[in-house]
Amino acid sequence: MDYILKFLSGGFLQLSWWQVALVTLVITHITIAAVTIFLHRSQAHRGLDLHPAVMHFFRFWLWLTTGMVTKEWVAIHRKHHAKCEREGDPHSPVMFGIGKVFFRGAELYREEANNVETLNRYGTGTPDDWLERNLYTRHSLLGVLIMLVLDLSLFGVLGLTVWAVQMAWIPFWAAGVVNGLGHFIGYRNYACPDASTNVSPWGIIIGGEELHNNHHAYGTSAKFSTKWYEFDIGWGYISVLRFFGLATVKKLAPKLKLEPAAASVSLRTLQGVITHRYEILARYTDLVKKAAGEELALSTLVQMRRELVRLWESSSASSEQLLSDLQAWCLRAQQSGIEGLEQFAYRLRRYAA
């Protein structure tokens, strides 16, 4: 009887409460790493390739700790980018409201996972081997039940709490915080055509997913931090894997290049402006905010912004025409009499691809 009571109180490991808490933080962080590195950056956006052994570890771990199916997650996320903040976005706070996405984000995920059209259209290129078809997808709930048995065996009755935390970790941090707050509050480095924000400049708890605005600006980049003061722990893990030959980085956000300003813009300038358009628009937004109290200046700035955006929205104009339009825009900005706009035009002529 004493043995049974001892087992129930501490399982095979007989750890203290703080040791159990520490183990829980470690294993939930591994789950976060699996989501951000494997599901998100590698599978959904093809920003990096992983060694088969690493890839399968992540697949197995996610099966145990979340029950999520790779194809479903990837398809839903790709659709989010394709339909962001519009009808069809599976989890947009703009469409559903922040309360529903934050508190019921997991329900929205499950609802979209049942949409066969979404899976077929957006879930291509994901693992489709025997294990995926016959175990990870067909018996997606078996893994979390095995994890429940493992937690109870290792930690005793307290293992039920450990398991509950594991089950809630991704629905809260990913579905709630990233998909919800990451489109509601925070700061923006880039004026993307959506509501994405960086929840925090230090991406640790959610593996770098806190830098959500950066990700929406350069969706295929394997690295989410773009400013010197930002930290993406997920990129740190990828760098370690790459050092040991276990990961190959395919895509990164383009680095900003500023050259001495010339009297006229060049094709390199045009390419640089188009490449860094979201960063440019973010700077322009700051300029508009500063001029908010000056009615005449504000009207000019709004009109000039529309004309600037047309440069990269025009799909039929030739490079020569776009180059001429950019040169004309810079000239009008310099002659506007608005000091901030003149300085903006000077900087714009320094961009290079």
- The DSSP annotation for 313-327 comes to H-SS--HHHHHHHHH
Residue 244 has pLDDT above 90, yes or no: yes
Q: What letters, b where the CB count within 10 A reaches 16 and e where it falls short, cover 10-33?
A: bbeeebeeeebeebbeebbbbbbb
Q: For residue 10, how far is the Cα from the chain centroid? A: 38
Asked if 162 contacts 155 with a C-beta cutoff of 8 angstroms, the reply is yes
With cut-offs at 50, 70 and 90, classify the pLDDT of residue 224: very high
Among 31-35, 55-59, 211-215, 290-294, which is the least confidently predicted range?
290-294
Instruction: Report pLDDT for 293.
Output: 66
**Which has more confidence, 89 or 315?**
89
6 pLDDT above the threshold of 80: no
Per-residue pLDDT at 58 exceeds 90: yes
Banded pLDDT at 312 (limits 50, 70, 90): confident
Residues 77-107 have pLDDT tens digits of: 999 999 999 999 999 999 999 999 999 999 9
- Angle between helix 339-348 and 319-334 (nearest 10): 150
CA distance 223 to 228: 13
Domain positions in the chain are 2-249, 257-352
Q: What is the per-residue pLDDT for 295? A: 67
Q: Tokens in use for 57?
A: 């570890």
Token pair, residue 77, equals 């996320």
